[in-house]
Structure 1
Amino acid sequence: MSLPPLVALPAALAPLSNRAESVLRDDAAHAARLATWPSARRALLPRLSAASDFVSEQISRDPQAFLELADSGELERRLGVGELSDQLHATLADCDEESDLARRLRRFRNRQQWRIIWRDISRQADLTETCRDLSELADASIDQAYQWLYQRHVAQFGTPIGRRSGQPQHLVVLGMGKLGALELNLSSDIDLIFGYPEGGETEGVKRSLDNQEFFTRLGQRLIKALDAPTADGFVFRVDMRLRPYGSSGPLVYSFAALEQYYQDQGRDWERYAMIKARVVGGDQVAGKQLLEMLRPFVYRRYLDFSAIEALRSMKQLIQQEVRRKGMADNIKLGSGGIREVEFIAQAFQLIHGGRDLSLQQRPLLGVLATLEGQGYLPPVVVDELRQGYEFLRYTEHALQALADRQTQMLPDNDQDCTRVAWIMGFEHWPAFHAQLMYWRGRVDWHFRQVIADPDDEEGAAEAVHIGGEWLPLWEEALDEAAACRQLADAGFAEPTLAWRRLSDLRSGPQVRAIQRLGRERLDAFVPRLLAQAVEHAQPDLVLERVLPLVEAVARRSAYLVLLSENPGALERLITLCAASPWIAEQITRFPLLLDELLNEGRLFKPPLAPELAAELRERLTRIPEDDLEQQMEALRHFKLAHGLRVAASEIAGTLPLMKVSDYLTWLAEAILDQVLALAWRQTVSKYGTPRRSDGSLCDPDFIIVGYGKVGGLELGHGSDLDLVFIHDGDSQAETDGLKPIDGAQFFARLGQRIIHLLTTQTTSGQLYEVDMRLRPSGASGLLVSSLGAFERYQQNEAWTWEHQALIRARVLVGSERVGTAFEQVRATVLARPRDLPKLREEVSEMRAKMRDNLGSKETAGGTASNAFSATAPFDLKQDAGGIVDIEFMVQYAALAWSQQDPQLLRWTDNIRILDELEAAGLLPGDDAHLLQEIYKAYRAVAHRLALQKQPGVVSGEQFHDERRAVLRIWRELELH
């Protein structure tokens, strides 16, 4: 947001408006320079003088320096990147004494403070520029003061050398809080932590120092250079209390000591603080290594919903302090203040940042944008938080501009109230205060939705509503008879079984092994679960399917906190598990999927293909290229999460069957695209790049072809992938790497790598089962075929059933050039002239074999006289009149007639091939539409059965008309 323009200066401030100008006019030379100022700058001077005591006092103290700043033009322009640092470097260039260093740093800081306040109050700089300039000023001051002091310190005490590496050591200065996030305010202190890479001692002097002592003394000198008040003021107040053990701990730590501390003793508030840590001075390279070492402490790889409890506790402590000290008017710490917006953003970062790397960033406004973009918070909520935060930060700057004093308290006198209101663009204090309280109210409301305890301020009645009535039953305060009566009265059909399930959970090994905190969380969660379960039509089914999940996560109780904190997520869990045991099993096996239940809009609206691919690409680009374990986990989590979204959408009715298959197929394609990229990169890094027949390098001249369900865009939940790998490199030519191998070996190992990435079991399962038996010569053939070999096989050796399979084959990912060549081979093979009687015979024989081997034994694959009886089964896929009959008819038609009508080869899915058969007049329109509707009806039932973890078999009394229609059309095509 931007502030309203400055209004006319209130009469009450008129006496303050001429302070600065009168000082300048007292000297004739100064007055002459003042007279040359542009009118716009002249008009601003009395306004700035009235607004800020700091500006007036500094001009009185050093009018010459202020005029030089004005003459530079920097009051009217934004500084370029690095310009401020360059100016300070020039300022310190000929500095020889430590006292002179302190003086120059402070005068430089005052000059920049003039400029920043002038531009902020006059609306020439927005909030982002002001915070950036202040943070860059701190960065430059810290680093350049350090570099200056380090040289003198080394000359006095020697060069610190690492005992292990033998290399010179430098201090690493971490900036925390607002400095780390480039969000400093006008009078902020700076929170720092000092570290150095490794122990050792100094060299080059007679009496060496231990590295710890060397850097402790150097750190003390750096703090003094920045913090000690002199006649020129200070540079920045330095706060070192965020270091391990706070004020009682050493000033400086080795990296090993820092890592050990945070691993063993790091507290939740320290994780919160470390989110914004940034290297602001000293050794940047070593500093990045330190932050990488500490990243696992800050961001847990699992869903860490317990972080919200820590943030809530911190907020409660702050609120107690606010009440104790009477700080309700504190716009940072009070209700609806700046800290609450920060807590909201950082709650999501701590909870989800271990898996969603886009949240691993420092600036708050950037985090809010990500929360909106990734669907964690609705746009309207993010917009209100952003506007409220910016208004509060502008107010903070107005308060601090008055006297360059670190305060977030609203003024307690009329003059300062008038000044703050005027700086903020309001005509009077009541108008400003009303707007301030509006934004504080909105921030507080959103804070309560995210952070506040759902039991707080709701009273005993609300506690009962969210499960209090079930607490005695869970804690065994009731005997079995009373507990069963309560369960029966609440709607459980089998109360004794429900009681036994709860008892088994309570006394089970998983629950007995959990620690106190976990048990407390379980005791808080189970009554909530029971309260919501009885609201469901089938509470017995809810317990049957949800309690295994509770048992599975009992020792990782952060998941229970997630569900306790989010009644909506618990409600969605109950609904989905009751609707589908497949979903219940997925979530129980992979509890990280609970994260998906938090956002209802995202859960029931999976992204389209381009968004899906872009999201996966973005996730993987944030992972180091050499971290294969994390890449594989990211791929698997991505597949699990989006698979759950599709299943949830199917159950909710927001996705029809055809779209379900589309989404699952797009998901497979997005994953295969990234798996191919990973496998290619890894194989090339090991062996070099293979060559084409003309000697040029492949890039990658490799395709993954999908057959069957993935080829026909008909994937279901849990479907495997029928794949064929094809390359168009030179099989004989060697790769260009340090360990060269021939092209045939290279592409074989690339194929093996792809299969490894897809099928390896990790903690998040495997990506897909892969079936490669449709490749040339089946299981006995090469894993990867050259394009030429594939064509020769299809032309000369392939069976008719292999050509039937080729109808559903399409390029999923890989080289566009090779993909186009494959399509040409496919079209040539499939469109060749065929002996129709022989074709009918071969198709019919293959269908009969499948029916005999895979169909229902009781009805001879649906051909016996009892096939339509109520007691007989009907296999939706394999029995006569089922899915495979329709597929075989479509494949027969494409092979029989594609020579005369190539459009039949345009598509690989049955629905659109049937459209083409109708359009070409090769199949009556009524029959084509009938087959499409029957095919979709069969598949819809098969999908529902899959979600129920049941085989694709229904009672023989179902689908009589549909089966007879399929068999009629089968006969009319002269198939037998």
Structure 2
Amino acid sequence: MSERRTESTTARLARLGITDVAEAARRLTGHGLGAGLLDVLGAAADPDLALTGLMRMLERADVRDELTADPDALGRLIAVLGVSAALGDHLVRHPDHWRVLTGPAALQRPTADELRTALLDAVGADPADPAPRAGRPDPMVALRVAYRRALLHLAGRDLTGAADVEEVAAELADLAAAALEAGLAIARTELGEQADTCRLAVIGMGKCGGRELNYVSDVDVIFVAEPMPGQDETVALRAATRLASGMIRACSASTAEGALWEVDAALRPEGKAGPLVRTLASHRAYYERWAKTWEFQALLKARPVAGDRKLGEEYTAALAPLVWRAAERENFVEDVQAMRRRVEEHIDPDKAGRQLKLGPGGLRDVEFAVQLLQLVHGRTDEGLRGPNTLIALKKLSWGGYVGRADAAALANAYRFLRRVEHLIQLHRLRRTHLVPEDPADLRRLGRALGFRTDPVGEFTAEWRRHAREVRRLHEKLFYRPLLLAVARLPGDEARLTREAARTRLEALGYADPDGALRHLESLTSGVSRRAAIQRTLLPVMLGWFADGPDPDAGLLGFRQVSDALGTTPWYLRLLRDDVTVAERMAHVLSSSRYATDLLLRAPEAVSLLAGDAELTPRSQDALRTEALAAVGRHMGAAATRLQFDPAAEAVAAVRGIRRRELLRVAVADLLGRLDVRATGEALTAITMVTIEAALSAAIAKIEMERRSPLPTRFAVVAMGRLGGYELGYGSDADVMFVHDPLPGAEREAPAAAHAVAEELRRLLALPAPDPPLVIDPGLRPEGRQGPLVRTFDSYASYYRRWSSPWESQALLRAAPVIGDQELGARFRGLIDPLRWPQGGIDDRALLEIRRLKARMEAERLPRGVDRRLHTKLGPGGLSDVEWVAQLLQLQHAYEIPELRTTRTLKALDAAAAADLLDREDAVRLCDAWRLATRIRNAVMLVRGRASDTLPTEHHRARSAVAGILGYPASGDMLEDYRRHARHARAVVERVFYGDGGGS
């Protein structure tokens, strides 16, 4: 019976989220806190941390009876201990402080005056006469103890939902102001009678001034002083400086109870180089003559928080008019934007993605946007003036300066980010704005925010969603570049005659101005919302189109995409509100028919243009997970509902994923974010995943038709560019199919395997609104005359008896990576001795390979094509470079493991490293291969169809290809290609053909 009870408790602890159940069960033995303790622990953000803190506290003070009698207090205590290890440590040192969580007072919010009185009393000062009395304990230690007692009281309400994030931030600011007052009282005692020579006001800045402080933050202040009547100003300022320094030390110095936070006076005039304390007249003179724009922006938050309140109010009243005239300064908007960029530039790039405050989509984005709008519109609308971000945002919305939906989204995101920031800082009471990386920390965060099903995943998704929304709205409100550009158009723009418009378009580089005018008329005519937005967008976008290789294609593409998406509410709003999307879209449409077609077929993918992160190719593992999940959903649904062709529906979903990812890679390529190797690897990963998912659907369909599992193992061997991870946008997928019958299924396996291969090819050949994916099995044994699918044993027999040198060469790029992994590994073991033969290849095989290459050059080039401009089969083209690499692999890969790769550039690098190839020759071959590959890809991007030749018949297409590749003119591209090809061919003649030459 005892064992069953133990097991039941252990299981319950695990269900409640406790990770170390054995230790928790031991600690809970005879805990004496009643049956409800486990439920309370289960509600904690980190039950293990809460239990540890509770037991440590009880070791110092046995208050079990009191906790049992007040279950609400126990709940608040556990909520605090489950988030904050630092407050748990505080309760170990001061166990009686837990009582601030008991009774009705635990839910009452103290006023600013009550907090001030409590902290002054702690240091032995009277609020009416704030000078500490003698004979009390160390006032700096007492201040910290009282401060953390108040912090515990606040955390108890915060973590149980009795205080929202705005109330918490405001109370933290009031608590900081009370601490500053108490610190000033300590400084007065230290200074003695000299303190009576001056009046000193402490002005809260930043989040303290805005009453939106964090749990742990630098407290920004400015000091202003005046001499008492009859006192010398110099003497008074000296005393005020000592008072200010003493106050800073009283709050910032480390003691046995630690420090409170840093008091930062760097926002004062002249910063750290200026005097710590100034008179009001000195402050005013500085701001009138020398202050920079950012200093007026900082003054938005100024608020008297400690010291002489009347002097503090005089200070803010004197400087407020200067703040609201700041927007009239020359280059005001540019100065504010430049300051924001400087902040971003100083973020550690390794941590930018985890920055809640300074990173893209962080708190500072909200604050900067709101402050700029306040400074611009607060000149004439006094209702917008105030230091608090959320209050100012609400007033901006009421005044119509920010849309209600935008304001609500910003406010919600700001509250969420501040809540996360509070929870992170509460853990150790340390100043940090970084989202942790440790899964346990993320789990605690997620649970504290109410996510219980998948705390880490749900929290991360919600955080990223808010960050994206903040960044989008920040750029919309803060920069407004589209509206600014339109505002700078000449005043007579709308009154241009048709002939003047043609002339203007021709000057911008439009080859067909009449066609462009027709597109403009179609896009902007009428009174619809769509036409109104287009009239705002197009004056700017026309210039962006003109900056691209083919302005006419850009405008045509924009019309086609807009015709397809014009009634979609989010589309034009996205372009209007997000400068990145609009500008990138203009560049893509004016550069690429291929990308334009993808946009037309996958309109939701326009969102990929919104940020750099969206243009990073997704990993093959991530794509595989998504694609196989799509197949699983469709094939699983086939068992519960009537479907005509579930496998086709599954592969259609997979091809939708492929379409989106092709656009992602194409746009990243067009914007110069991917080099040629990364592009090839990304395109290969997309194709591999598409084939693998289609294979999964094909096998599932055949098994459904057979009503039994597949009687054989099945694998797809990637060949050619697919196996080399070097696919281009127009490449076919070269493959071979291999299967291995299960024991006892030798007779039925061939038909089943052939059915899978045919179904795979059928599924991928179905008509679809995306670039075709052609499966080419022509490199299989006996070529197109041989069986489509062979058994593993059949491959082994064929290669042992009949294999020719060209097949060994083709196997150099074989990568058995799709389907049954064990079978693929066995196949790799079978072919490795063939493609990396011991002792290399003999003279007969070498001669045959050279003859085959020469015959291919002579026979396979299309008629009428200038062979010098054929990037694949022409002299110095892709084939030349690849055959050199493959010959060196056949000759030396057995001895040099680094040559055992399916990738061309990697093989050439390895050959140079092994001194099989002169380093300069390797560089020439690699450069020629890269350029030829880039040209082939660029041709596909521009024309939307594959070609191995440089475009010569169409000047605009050739110029567009050159533009994508970064050449100022198409002639420069042609000259550069011919030079690279000539150098590469010279290497081929020497290394591949030897002294005898090859043509």
TM value normalised by structure 1: 0.49
Structure richer in helix, relative to its length: 2
Bigger RCO (CA 8 Å, 6+ sep): 1
